[in-house]
Each structure stands twice: as C-alpha cells, then as structure tokens.
Chains A and B, each alone.
Chain A
Amino acid sequence: MSTTYIARSSAVAARRLGDEMVIMSALDSTLFSLNDVGAMLWEAADGRTALDRIVRERVCTSFHVDAATALRDAEEFVRELAARGVLLVSGEPIETPATQAAAASAGKPQR
C-alpha cells in the first residue's frame, strides 16, 4: 500500500469559528466548512505525517470508527479538497514554507 502525505495549501486561509473550521480559497474565494473529522485532518496536514498514521493515531482514537473505514473516508475527503487546491497530496513528504519553518524551528539549539 502506498503512503500518502498531505499538506495545507498556502493559497488558503482558515479560521475556527465556534465549532466549525471555515476555510477560504484565496484563489477563487470559495468557502469550505469542515466537520470535526475534517478539521482534525486539516490541522494534522503538516506534509510530514502520513495520512494513515494521522487516521490511526488521531481520528480512530477520538472517534469510534474502525481504521479501514476511517482511512477510506479520509482518502475521499483528501481527494475532494486536493481537487479544489485546498490540500496538497504526495507520495513523498511535502515541503512547504510552513513545514520548512517548523523544521528550522525544531533544529534550533535549545538554550
């Protein structure tokens, strides 16, 4: 089975409003609302953590759902958002300005 990595596109803006995650594509001003699972996947989409690991360690531990079903639903969700340019998807870890900044920050010597 191939590994899938997901990262948030830099061309979107996201805000949590109440109990909803609202995402706007800055390219065409389209708005998306994510449910709890979608918001969890979105927040975990750091480009470095594999999708199946996100599902196993975060979704399955927070919601009563088996791993196979959760992964199938997550893949469909990812396909849909990737088609709208909101998520980036790759078989390799994805480097974005955000992931590079996080990596640089993690590599800083501790005082």
Chain B
Amino acid sequence: MATHTSNPAAAQFPASAAAVHYPELSNLGLTIEIGGLPIRLRAPDPEFWSLLAARYSNFVRADSAPEMEFELLPTPRMPLPENVSLQVHCYNGRWLLSRGEFRAAFDMRSRRGHLACVPNPYSVDTLLRIVHSLLLAPAGGMLLHASGGIRDGRGYLFSGISGAGKTTMARLAPPDVQLLTDEISYLRRAESGFSVYGTPFSGELGIQGERVSAPLAAIYLIEHGAENRMTPLTEADAARRLMRNVLFFAHDAQLVSLVFGTVCELVRRIPVYRLEFLPDSRVWEMIR
C-alpha cells in the first residue's frame, strides 16, 4: 500500500487534501459520503484526485463501505452546442447520462459505473446529484433547490427558484447557525419525520456545506418582499410549490411517483411556510 510519503503524487496535493488519510491512495480512490450514503470515485490521475479531494474535503470518508463505485475517465474538452440539455435514460436497469462531452453509465444492480468527462469537479457534481436523486427516491428522500442550516439542533430549509434568495438566507445566517448548503438540500424520511443533511453542492457563496444532519423542523418557500412576513401554507399548496423545486432528472414514471409520494408525506409531517423577507439579518429572528 502506498503512503503519502512513498507516492510521488502526494507531494502535489494541496494541504487541505493531503491532511486527510487515504489508505487506498495507490489507486486514487476517494469515498464521498453525502446524506450518509458513501460513493467511491476512482480518479484517472493525481491532478483530478487532488481537485476532487479539495472540492469534497468536508465529505471525504476513508472508512465507509461504498454504496456505489465509479471509474472516472478523462475526455478532451469539446465545444458544447448551445442549449444542449442533459439526457437521462434507463435501459434494462442501466442508466445512461449524456451532455456534450459528459457521458456516464451505471447499473443499479451491480452498483458500478463510469463517468467520462473533462476533468473538473462540476461534472462529478452533476453525476453525484443524479445518482443521489435516483438512490433517494425509493428511500423516501429527495434533493431540493433550497439552502439550509441547523439551529439549536433543528434543521431549516429555504426553498425557491433561482433568484428567490437561497444564497441571501445562507449569507445572512447568524453565527449560531451551522450551514447545510446555500443551493441544494438533501432530505430523507426518518423515524420521527424527515432529516436534512449538509451537501457539497454550492451556489453563489461557493462554500460547501458541512457533513452534519438534523431533524427537519420547517421548510420556508422564500421570496423577496417589502417586509418580513411568514404565512403557513395548506398541505396541497405546499406540495404544489415544493414539487417545482425538487431536483429530479429521470423521466421514469415509477420514480417520479415515489418522489410525489414523499413530497405529500413531507407536507403532512413538516410545517411549510411562505416567507417573504427583506435582505437583512432580522429575518433570522423568525427562524426558531
């Protein structure tokens, strides 16, 4: 087994990555655990490994048995046609994803796959979001366009479309709030309701969340307003609005139905409010 000192690549790793102990450094593997679900990536070269180790530093776990494994294969950058969208298809249990030079395939039965991409963390972000959304659906969970934080051991999410104020809410968070994410939240059914988890998927703040979790206390559907005002939503209204903010990539009727069922259960068990707010820290006085 190679060690940091015997592997010549180790000298190139940034301090934040090299500070983490990786027992399988020789094959450039990296296990990233988000939402308690470890996924192992095998980088093609030390440079890509280094990029990933830094990008996901808060979520690297050396001791977790992976739920899925991916081989990363570098491809040359190609000009991307305009308006090209991500294609996600499933054939006989094998998922195929493509957008420009980004190509991924994986099998949910063998729990293995590969990703061919230009070596940058954004491609891996895309892969991780899709894989997690597929794994979460049958587990009663989802990824949601929402920032979030933990305060006094309780999780709060601020969901909205782009421009609604997710990053602003994260930026205004007082020091006693532990930031989960400023862009994409991870939630899953738990014994007593739902739990929220930090994610590395960042927005404008560019700060990855922390690998922490808490019981979900409330969801706020946010929008900028002329005053700070909180209005409870009916279950049906909350479900309709939340469905717009769920990240889901597959046009698979069964999985979409599962996500819809989870959203319905979510609004029955967790209070959902419409939150209009002014962009100053006073809005956080309402979040208790």
Contact = CB atoms under 8 A, between A and B. Distances in A.
- Are chains A and B native binding partners rather than an unrelated pairing? yes
Given A20-B236, A31-B243, A26 B254 contact: yes
Contacts of A15: 239, 260-261, 264
Interface string B240-267: 1001000010010110110011001001
Contacts of B239: 15, 17, 22, 31
24 contacts: A13-B256, A13-B257, A13-B260, A15-B264, A17-B234, A17-B267, A17-B268, A18-B235, A18-B236, A20-B235, A20-B236, A22-B239, A22-B240, A22-B264, A24-B256, A24-B260, A26-B254, A29-B243, A29-B248, A29-B256, A31-B239, A31-B243, A33-B236, A33-B240
Q: For chain B, what secondary structure do more than half of its interface residues adopt (helix, strand, loop), or is it mixed?
A: helix
A106 interface: no
Interface in B199-254: 234-236, 239-240, 243, 248, 251, 253-254
Name A's interface SS: strand
Interface string A1-39: 000000000010101011010101011010101000000
Given A17-B264, A17-B268, A18-B236, A24 B253 contact: no
A68 B282 CA distance: 58
Contacts of A20: 234-236
Contacts of A11: 253
A70 to B, nearest CB: 24
Interface residues of A, number: 13
A26 B261 CA distance: 11
A22 B264 CA distance: 9
A18 B234 contact: yes
Contacts of B257: 13, 24, 26
Given A11-B253, A17-B239, A31-B239, 13 more contacts: A13-B256, A13-B257, A13-B261, A15-B264, A17-B235, A17-B264, A17-B268, A18-B236, A22-B239, A24-B256, A26-B254, A29-B243, A29-B256
Contacts of A22: 236, 239-240, 264
A20 B267 CA distance: 13
Contacts of B260: 13, 15, 24, 26
A26 B250 CA distance: 11
B57 to A, nearest CB: 35
A33 B256 CA distance: 17
Nearest to B240: A31
A15 B253 CA distance: 16
B235 A26 contact: no
B249 to A, nearest CB: 12
The 3 closest A-B CB pairs, nearest first, are A26-B253, A17-B235, A20-B236
A24 B234 contact: no
Contacts of A24: 243, 256-257, 260
Nearest to B258: A13
A52 B76 CA distance: 64
